[in-house]
Homo-oligomer: A and B are copies of this chain.
Amino acid sequence: MTKRVYNFYAGPATLPLPVLKKAQEELLDFQETGMSLMELSHRSKPYDAMHKEASQLVRELMGLSDEYVVLWLQGGASSQFYMVPLNLQLKGKPMEYVNTGVWSKKAIKEAKFYGDVNVVASSEDKNFSYIPKDICFGDKAAFAHITGNNTIYGTEFHQWPKIPNDIPLACDMSSHIFDKVIDPKLFGVMYAGAQKNLGPAGVTLVIVRKDLLDRVPELTPTMQKWKTHAEKDSLFNTGPCWAVYICKLSLEYLKSIGGVPAIEKLNRKKATVLYDVLDKSGGFYKGHAEKESRSLMNVTFTLPTPELEEACVVEALKHDMVGLKGHRSVGGMRASLYNAMSLEGVQKLAEFLKVFQEKHA
């Protein structure tokens, strides 16, 4: 029998088993074409239909209006770090960022190649353990940028900052896209590397309000413009077909279990199960994030000593729970509870942590 473990990696991360099974089943013969999806021309009808369906599922599950285009790009969120300022810049206007951790910093670094950047709020003073409140973007900004969830620190925006009229808000949603219901109209640009909460590595979902596509300077290499990809429905060149396909299966699965409202409910339950263990551990497990900034997706915590942390990770492995070592910026442990992680997996981890504490406290 095929072995399967509980995978708490921060990304690439666990995928729904029915998605993997479907991909496995039709790997040699996609929809009776006699070819693998990987072998299909990106200009063929069966590929095109699948590709359009993937975009349609994004629209439907997110409640997107026709004002937005859905793009499937390559290069990860790391490429969007330069594509966002390149495509949204306005001469003489500053670009405004909130700094909530490593990924924000990387985004800020790339924006500086394109003009003046204001960092209007930061939580660096407390090792990014919280989401700043009362963020004030200026009304002269070309655009505003936030990182919606911070994988490394385990913090997440639960209230969106107020934005002055007409200033587009760009949000890196790599580690929380589809984790909870959002109002897409609040955003000008939403982007997400797929490999955390959507699908496999190798594709980046980018959603752009159409009126923003024309800002990009004319003398820009073709592939760097969102507009190029928007005009060709992300088929200007050969895209990451397999990764789009797995995203499509994943979105279909999300729809089948009730869409974003249902998964939000489940995500809140999962997070509660695990945070409860931390909160009731009498300080044995110490959460890194401040309570009201806690992420639904990445639960970060430390133990009394580095030795205990290592022992806990090793012991968890023996119980088929993998990927629990924390990022070096925070240390300790991290459990990623993305949409594809089952409640059963989280309950198993919670029970394990309680027992581990009893043994070692």
Say yes or no: is A78 at the interface (Cβ < 8 Å to chain B). yes
Give the number of times this chain occurs in the complex, counting copies.
2
A238 within 8 A of B: yes
Asked whether, in the complex, the Cβ of A223 is within 8 Å of the Cβ of B36, the reply is no
Q: Assign chain A's interface to a size class.
A: 35 or more
- Distance to closest chain B CB from A196 (angstroms): 9
Chain B minimum-CB-distance residue to A76: B237
A243 proximity list for chain B (CB < 8 A)? 202, 240, 242-243
A39 within 8 A of B: yes
Complex: A5 Cα to B29 Cα, angstroms = 9
* A6–chain B nearest beta-carbon distance, Å: 9
Chain A stretch 43-80: residues in CB contact (< 8 A) with chain B: 44, 74-79
Name which of A15-23, A92-100, A119-127, A134-142 contacts chain B. A15-23
Residues of B contacting A246 in the complex (Cβ-Cβ under 8 angstroms): 38, 242
In the complex, the answer to whether A238 meets B35 with C-beta atoms within 8 Å is: no
A247 to chain B, nearest CB (A): 11
CA separation between A224 and B75, bound complex, in Å? 10
Asked if B11 and A29 sit within 8 Å, CB to CB, the answer is no
A24 touches B27 (CB 8 A): yes
> A241 to chain B: which residues have CB within 8 Å?
12, 195, 200-202
A329 to chain B, nearest CB (A): 14
Known A-B contacts A35-B5, A36-B20, A203-B202; A110 and B221 likewise in contact (beta carbons under 8 Å): yes
Check if B24 sits within 8 Å of A28, measured CB to CB.
Answer: yes
A158 is an interface residue with CB less than 8 A from chain B: no
Q: Please measure, in the bound complex, the distance between the C-alpha atom of A72 and the C-alpha atom of B9, giving whole angstroms.
A: 22
Q: Is the CB of B110 within 8 A of A322?
A: no
Contacts A15-B39, A34-B320, A76-B238 supplied; 8 other A-B pairs, CB < 8 Å: A11-B41, A12-B40, A33-B322, A42-B201, A44-B323, A75-B79, A201-B241, A201-B242
List the 3 closest A-B pairs by CB distance, nearest first: A202-B240, A5-B34, A74-B74
Q: 23 interchain pairs (CB within 8 A)?
A: A3-B32, A7-B39, A9-B39, A10-B41, A12-B41, A17-B28, A33-B322, A34-B322, A74-B74, A74-B75, A76-B223, A76-B238, A81-B222, A82-B224, A86-B221, A110-B221, A200-B241, A200-B242, A201-B238, A202-B241, A202-B242, A202-B243, A240-B240
